Amino acid sequence: MTQFRVERDSMGEVQVPAQAYYASQTQRAVENFPVSGWPLPPALVHALGLVKYACGVANRDLGKLTKTGKNKLNDEQVAAMLSACREVAAGKFDKEFPIDVFQTGSGTSSNMNTNEVIANRAIEILGGDRFAKDKPVHPNDHVNMGQSTNDIFPTAIHVSVAMQIKNDLIPALQRFHDELKKKAVEWDKIIKIGRTHLADATPLRLGQEIGGFARQLELSLERAQAAIKAVLELPAGGTAVGTGINTHPEFGHRVAAELAKETGIPFIEAVNHFEGNAQRDGLVECHGQLRTIAMTLFNVSNNIRWLGSGPRCGFYEIKLPDRQPGSSIMPGKVNPVMCESMMQVAARVMGNDQTITFSGATGGQFQLNIMMPVMGQTTLESIALLAGATRAFVDFCAIEMEANPEACEASVEKSLSMVTSLNPHIGYEKAAAIAKQAFKSNKTVRELCREEGILPETTLKEALDPWSMTEPQA
C-alpha cells in the first residue's frame, strides 16, 4: 500500500496521505501553516459538521440537491451526505482535521476540510470509491451548496460557542453557585469580623459573606446566558459578501431553524447579512461576558484563599481541604492550590479577551473579518478553561470547605470597629477617640467603655452585641 495518493484541484496535483478522508485543499493548508500544532478545537469541528447538516437539510427541503442538471443527487446520496455530516458532528472524524488554527483568516481551509471529509465519507457510505477522480458527492457542489466560508465559518463559531456555554460552562457555574448557597445557609450563625481595605471592619456572619459570593455566581449565570444571546444571530445565507448570491432566499432562515431544533438554542438568521458576514461584534460581546465571569471567579477564589490563610498565622476562618504537599523544602506545608489554579485560569481568560477585542476591532474590513479562526479558538478555550477550573474547584475545594467558628469569633471582640455601634449613643468623634485609646492601651472597646463608664452596662451590652451589628436596626 502506498503512503500517499495524488489528488487534483484547480491549482494542480498534490500528494495526500493515502487513507485520509480529506483531500487536496486540506493538504495544501497543512503544508502552508506549520505554525502552532494546534488544530481547530473539537467543539468547532463538531459545529461545522452540524452546520453542514443543517445546510444539507435546507437544500434538500428546498429541492436544491435533487434538481435536474449536473449537480443532481438522488435520495440515497442525499441521505449518505447527511449521515456523514452527523458523523463529523458526533466527533467520529476529529483526526481528519489537521489544519492549524493560524490559517487563512476566513477559515476557508477548515471549511473545505469539512467539505472534503463529508463528501468522501458519504461516498464510502454509498459503497463507492472515495479515492475516485469523479465524485458522486462533491465537496463544493453538494456539501458546500448555497454556502461560502464567509458565512458558514462564523456560523459554526457561533453555534460551537453557544453550545459549549450551554452544555459545559453553565452547569459548572450552577454547581458552584449551589454549593456556595448551601455553605451560606450552613454557616449563617457564625459571626466574624468584616474587612474593608484589608483592615478590620464591623462584624458580619460568615454565611452572609459566602452568600455574597453565591450572588456573584448567580450573576455569572446570568452573564453566561447573555453571552449565548450575543451569538444567536447566524450569518448563514449571506454567502460571500452578504448578498446571498447562489443561495435560496429561505436558506438562512431554514438553516437557523434546523440548528435551533438540533441544539435547543434559539438561533435566528442574521437580521442584516452584511453586518453578519463582516463584523464579529457579537463574539466580542460574548467574550466580554466571559471575561466578567473570569473576574468573578478570580475574586471568589482569591477571597476564599485569604479566608483559608494560616493555619496559625493567617485568618484561617475557613479550613480548605488538603490536596497535596505544598513545599519541596518545608515539611507539612499545604497550599491553597485549587484557588491558585482558578486564579490562573481567570488571568488567561482575561488575557484572551484582549485577543478577541483586538481581532474584532481591527480584523473586519468591508465585507469580512479575517481573524475568525483565532477568535473562535480563543473563545472556545476560554469557555473550556472556565468550565474545567470551576468543576475542579467545586469537586476538590468548595464541597470539602469547613468553617472554623473559633477563629471567626475570636477576632470579633478584639476589633476596634465594634465602636461603630456606639455612634448613635455618643457620636462619631467620641467613638473615634475611644477606638484610638483602646488600640494604644491594648484593650477591647468593651473593656475601655466599662472602665470609663461611657454607657450603662445594659446599654453597652445591647450596643456591643455582635449579632445585632449584622443586620439593619429599626
- Which residues are designated catalytic? 197, 327
Which of the 8 DSSP states describes residue 191?
A: E
Q: How many other CB atoms are there within 10 angstroms of residue 326's CB atom?
A: 13
3-state SS record for 62-108: CCCCCCCCCCCCCHHHHHHHHHHHHHHHCCCCHHHCCCECCCCCCCH
Residue with cell 479558538: 377
Task: Find out whether 277 and 154 touch, Cβ atoms under 8 Å.
Answer: yes
Q: Enumerate the β-bridge partners of residue 338.
A: none
Distance CA 23, CA 118 (A): 11
- The DSSP string of 366-398 is TTEES-HHHHHHHHHHHHHHHHHHHHHHIIIII
Distance CA 231, CA 238 (A): 16
Q: Which residues contact 271 (CB under 8 A, 6 or more apart)?
A: 233
Distance CA 253, CA 41 (A): 27
- Cα–Cα distances in angstroms (integers) from residue 253 to residues 149, 193, 438, in the given order: 18, 58, 73
Q: Among 152, 166, 140, 143, which Cα is nearest to 256's?
A: 152
Q: Which residues contact 72 (CB under 8 A, 6 or more apart)?
A: 65, 66
Distance CA 280, CA 231 (A): 9
Which of the 8 DSSP states describes residue 342?
A: H
Q: Among 355, 362, 343, which Cα is nearest to 381's?
A: 355
Q: Which residue type does 145 have?
A: M
Distance CA 136, CA 23 (A): 15
- Cα–Cα distances in angstroms (integers) from residue 139 to residues 143, 271, 299, 409, in the given order: 5, 28, 49, 70
Q: Grid coordinates standing for 149?
A: 466560508
